[in-house]
Structures are given as structure tokens and as C-alpha cells.
Structure 1
Amino acid sequence: MKVPTNKVKDIISYYKDQLLPLYGEEQSRQMLGMLIENFFGFDRIYLVLNPEERLSESEMLTIHFAVKELLKHRPIQYVIGKALFCGHWFEVNQNVLIPRPETEEMVEMAIAMLKNDEQVSVLDIGTGSGCIAISIELQHPKVQVDAIDVSKEALEVAELNAKRLNSAVQLIQMDIKSNDFSCINKQYDLIISNPPYVSKSEMQLMRSNVLDWEPSLALFVPDDDPLLFYRYITDFAHSHLKSGGILLFEINEKFGQEVLELLEAKKFSEAVLLYDYHGKYRFVKGLM
């Protein structure tokens, strides 16, 4: 390391110059601020008030190796081991997707669709880190949430998050593409899912921080069957949604119309495409 001093401001300046070619000025500063705050508890206001704050040699090494990971395009959320979602920090690693702001919007929609004064049940399919299921359970006063995933490793992450956030979400290992639903013998008021929806041909358009690090199992579908998971989930929902129950999907905007037509063909009523905050079709809703 060739950092001029062990002052935090000098460390940030030194490593910012290394990150600049990949991330630009603003993002480099933001990521270094996240590293400093998450590893050592020094937020931006503290550093302004304490400009002479210093790190120990071992702390400097922690930053050094974290920056090396960022230079490999490893997402900052994997470097610090957590991601902010719906106001809570969720543990993440390479077995689960990093939660996106668009998915926060879907959680907000789900909460708005559920009646606050009634006991309701929700199933999250493909839960990953558990961020959708746990966020709904924490925000709704009378909800019982189940969450399924095919990945044992993803469910282990979800279990850590549920315990840390004092959530009562029930986690179940199940492959939605199988015909064995024996572990679920109930019906739900809402089934919600952010399934894999990126077609293989779109891989060339993706950044390396996603393509090289996030789990392909949770991202990709075949080019010749982009609605693969929507079809399985829709069929499952027919027997596991209550009458009047809601099916809510996050979608690839390229296939919004196709997902809508799938729900209509499966006799879901009031099927509709919904916009995200950027004005793109991002969600589909239907009623059983």
C-alpha cells in the first residue's frame, strides 16, 4: 500500500483515484463512504466533524482488500455483505440476488393491495434473500408469510435475515417447476414473485458486476421460453390462491404483454400491466 497517511480523508482520496476509471468520481466516493461506514462506523457527518480520524494498520488492510474486490467489479453489496431494502439491511452473498429499488415498489404495491384490518396470508416464490417476504411481514400487522426457493444456500441467507429482523416468515425449500407441492397445503390471499426473467441473449448487454457475480439461477431463462417461470407459477397459483386472491409479478419489460396474455389465458380476471417509477412496465397483477 502507498497511502500517504492513515487519515481517513487521505485513504478515501487515494483509493478514489484507483476506482475512478471504473466507477467515476461520484460513485467512487459513495462506495468508499459505504466501506468506511460499514466496516468502522464512521458516517459522512462524523468524518466532517473529525477530519483527523485515522485507521489502524489492520483497518487500512480491510479497506485495501475491499477496494481490490471492487476493482474486480464485485458489487459493493457483496463486499460489505448487505443491501438496504425497504428501510432494512439484508444480508446478501453470491447465492442471492442483490435487491433492486424496483422490487421495493412491488412490495409497496403488495402492502397497498392487502387489507390491514384482516388476517391475510402471502406466499413469496423464489424468495432469495427473503427481502420481499420479510419486508411484507414486517410492514403488515396481520399477515402470515411463507416463502419458497429451490436453493438451499439462498434459504440459509433468508433464514439469517429473518432471525436478525425478528420476522416470523416460514421458509420452505421447493422447486416450483416440480409437480410436488405436498409441502404447501393451503391457499393464499396473495402470491408474489420476482422470478428469473432475463433471456440468455440479453447477457451481452449486462454489466460484469451482475453477470460475473450474481447467481445465474436467479437471473436467466432460455431465449425460446422466456415465460418459463411465469407459466409454472401461474399454474401453481390456480390451486393455491383463494377466490379473489392476487397474483403479483415483477417482469422483464420486453415481455410484459406476453405475461399479461398468459394471465388472461389462464382465466385470471382484471389482469393489468403496472408501471414502475421510471415509467416502464415492470409488474403484472391478476385476480383469481
Structure 2
Amino acid sequence: MTIQSAFADLTNAIRPLYDAREAANIAHLLMEHITGLGKLDRIVHKDMDLPPRWESQYQEGLAQLLSGRPIQHITGKSWFYGMELIVSDQVLIPRPETEELVEWVLLDHPSHPALRLLDIGTGSGCIPIALKKHWPSADIWAMDVSPGALEIAARNAQMQHAPVNFIRQDVLDPQAAAPLPALNVIVSNPPYIPQKEKAGMDTNVQQFEPATALFVPDNDPLLFYRRIGQLAQERLEPGGRLYFEIHEDYGEAVKAELLHQKFTDVILKKDMFGKDRMVRATKA
């Protein structure tokens, strides 16, 4: 099996799971992971036979892809806001929509301020690390209930030379705000998918990404938005801002909840696909 034939066979094998473009991208990622060769080098060496070790890794990777495992879990890495991050089944794979949330926060504060900022439900640490790299003087905190997620996040912060104060805390705990300083900004991409939607989701999401970071009870889809809003009222300074990533179907409901909690300047923002995906609110 040559590098070229391995790529072609891999692309064809996973086509039932992905469209043509995504299948090719995934095949490129796996082949680079196995060989250590970039796309151009693999073209130059396309007729090179795979050594036994590479062929074994290829067969194992193919089997995992066909089982639905995300390519990011096979390679152990994902890209977010220009950074290569470690990922595993302990954290959500960072999404482009979350990059838009980071961009909104940065655009609202263009002078590289020395802010005190908290990310709630940090997962891989992608949000606070990206913000810390742009705001070296900011005092940035990040909270998660999962020890596994916090371990990954801390490794990412170290790898990116972006010191973040990570704390293990359940935001639903009434005492969650106790260890936190007064804050200027709170950001969160909390769980927001009702359990009833799980059956319709892709296998690579519902079986391989952490359920605690994804799902909320069907009878209380705003659970985390309501609680984080309460924490923000406790810890945000006047004029401080709260930013959420949201379920596209609950934008108006999240906005109404924040207005009910006496936030002002509540703005609903669409993502690159025209879906309601982000909300910003200001503490009076």
C-alpha cells in the first residue's frame, strides 16, 4: 500500500459517513498524523510504500473512523483561533462558532485591557487561552466541573504559554462564586442541547464527546443560562459584560431571561451561517 493508495482508499471508505470534502480533509489529517508528512511532501512521496508500523496505524485509524470516533480524538489535537490544542473524549472539540464568540469579546475590548475575566465550562480551555494570548495583562479565570477537562485545559495553557487560573467548580453549586474575584467579563459556552435532540445527533458527537458538556433536561433548557446569569449578578462589576454561546432555537428565550434578571443592552447575534448563536448582556 502506497501513500497515494492509502489516502484514496481511506477517503472512499469514510464517504458513507462524511461528504466528499470533509472525507478528504479527514483523510489528509490522518495521513499526516501517521506519516508526519504534510500534504506537499505526501504528493512528492506518493508512491512510497507504507512501512508496517504506518500501515498498522492506518488500519487502526480507519477502524476508529468507521466506528464514528472523531478524527480529533485519533490525532489528539484540534485547531482553534490559530492554536493547536490537545483534545480528548474529556472535552468538547472546539467549534468555529466558538471562535466567533471569542472574536466578539475581543472586538468589544480593542485596547488590550487588564481585565478580570471568567470562562465557565472551559473544557479544553480554548476560550480563556485564546483571550489570554491576545490580552497578556488580563487576569483570566476558568471553571469546569470535570477534573479530566481541567487537566487537558491546563496542558493546553502551558503549551500555549498562556497562564490561566483554572478552578474545579460546579457552576450549579450556590457557592460557585465564592472563590472568584470581582470580574469585568464572563464568557460561557454552557450545555444547551435538550436530551430529546440526542437521538438525532451524529454518532461522533453523541457517543464520543462528554454528555455533561452538551445536554440539559428537556424541561429546563435554560438551566445554565439562568444560573450563570445569577453568578454574573454576584460577581460582575457595574458595566461588566456577560457573553454566551447559545442554542439557535433559544436565542429569544435566553435574551428574555437576562432581561428578567435586570441585565441591560442585551444583544442577540447571528453566526456566520445566519443562526442565532451568541448573546451579550451588560450588568447595570
Residue 87 (1) aligns with residue 65 (2): no
TM-score, structure 1 length as denominator?
0.94
Q: Quick one: structure 1 residues 8 and 205, their matched pair in 2 at CA, closer, same or farther if it must change by over 3 Å?
A: same
In the other structure, the counterpart of 1:237 is 232
In the other structure, the counterpart of 1:54 is 49
> Which moves more between the two structures, 11-20 or 69-78?
11-20
Give the conservation status (yes or no) of the 8 Å contact 2:177–2:234: no
Pick from 38, 41, 46 the counterpart of residue 43 of structure 1. 38
Give the conservation status (yes or no) of the 8 Å contact 2:117–2:185: yes
Give the conservation status (yes or no) of the 8 Å contact 2:80–2:94: yes
Q: Deviations over 1:75-107 (max 9, x none)?
A: 111111111100111111111111110000000
Give the conservation status (yes or no) of the 8 Å contact 1:116–1:141: no
Give the conservation status (yes or no) of the 8 Å contact 2:194–2:218: yes
**How many corresponding residue pairs?**
283
Residue 212 (1) aligns with residue 197 (2): no
In the other structure, the counterpart of 2:70 is 75
Question: What's the secondary structure of 2:16's corresponding residue?
Answer: helix
The unaligned stretches of length 5 or more in structure 1 are none
> 1:167: Cα distance to partner?
1.2
In the other structure, the counterpart of 1:26 is 21
Question: What's the secondary structure of 1:23's corresponding residue?
Answer: coil
Q: Deviations over 1:115-155 (max 9, x none)?
A: 42431111000000100110111122421210000111110
Residue 186 (1) aligns with residue 213 (2): no
In the other structure, the counterpart of 2:148 is 153
Give the conservation status (yes or no) of the 8 Å contact 1:116–1:142: no
Give the conservation status (yes or no) of the 8 Å contact 1:114–1:120: no
Give the partner amino acid of 2:127. Answer: I
In the other structure, the counterpart of 1:99 is 94
Pick from 267, 278, 284 the counterpart of residue 283 of structure 1. 278
Q: What RMSD, in angstroms, separates the aligned Cα atoms of the two structures?
A: 1.4
Question: What's the secondary structure of 2:118's corresponding residue?
Answer: strand
> 1:54: Cα distance to partner?
3.4
Residue 162 (1) aligns with residue 157 (2): yes
The unaligned stretches of length 5 or more in structure 2 are none
Q: Quick one: structure 1 residues 40 and 72, their matched pair in 2 at CA, closer, same or farther if it must change by over 3 Å?
A: same
Q: Deviations over 1:149-191 (max 9, x none)?
A: 0111110110111111111111000011111236524111110
Distance in 2, Cα, partners of 1:160 & 1:14: 35
Pick from 4, 12, 29 the counterpart of residue 9 of structure 1. 4
Structure 1 runs (4+) deviating above 4 angstroms are: none
> 1:37: Cα distance to partner?
1.3
Distance in 2, Cα, partners of 1:206 & 1:51: 36
Q: Quick one: structure 1 residues 41 and 186, their matched pair in 2 at CA, closer, same or farther if it must change by over 3 Å?
A: same
Distance in 2, Cα, partners of 1:17 & 1:287: 50
Q: Quick one: structure 1 residues 183 and 58, their matched pair in 2 at CA, closer, same or farther if it must change by over 3 Å?
A: farther
Distance in 2, Cα, partners of 1:258 & 1:24: 34
Q: Deviations over 1:25-69 (max 9, x none)?
A: 332222111012123221111122333333310111011101100
TM-score, structure 2 length as denominator?
0.96
Distance in 1, Cα, partners of 2:269 & 2:11: 39
Give the partner amino acid of 2:63. Answer: K
Q: Quick one: structure 1 residues 181 and 201, their matched pair in 2 at CA, closer, same or farther if it must change by over 3 Å?
A: closer
> 1:258: Cα distance to partner?
0.8
Give the conservation status (yes or no) of the 8 Å contact 1:116–1:140: no
Give the conservation status (yes or no) of the 8 Å contact 1:82–1:89: yes
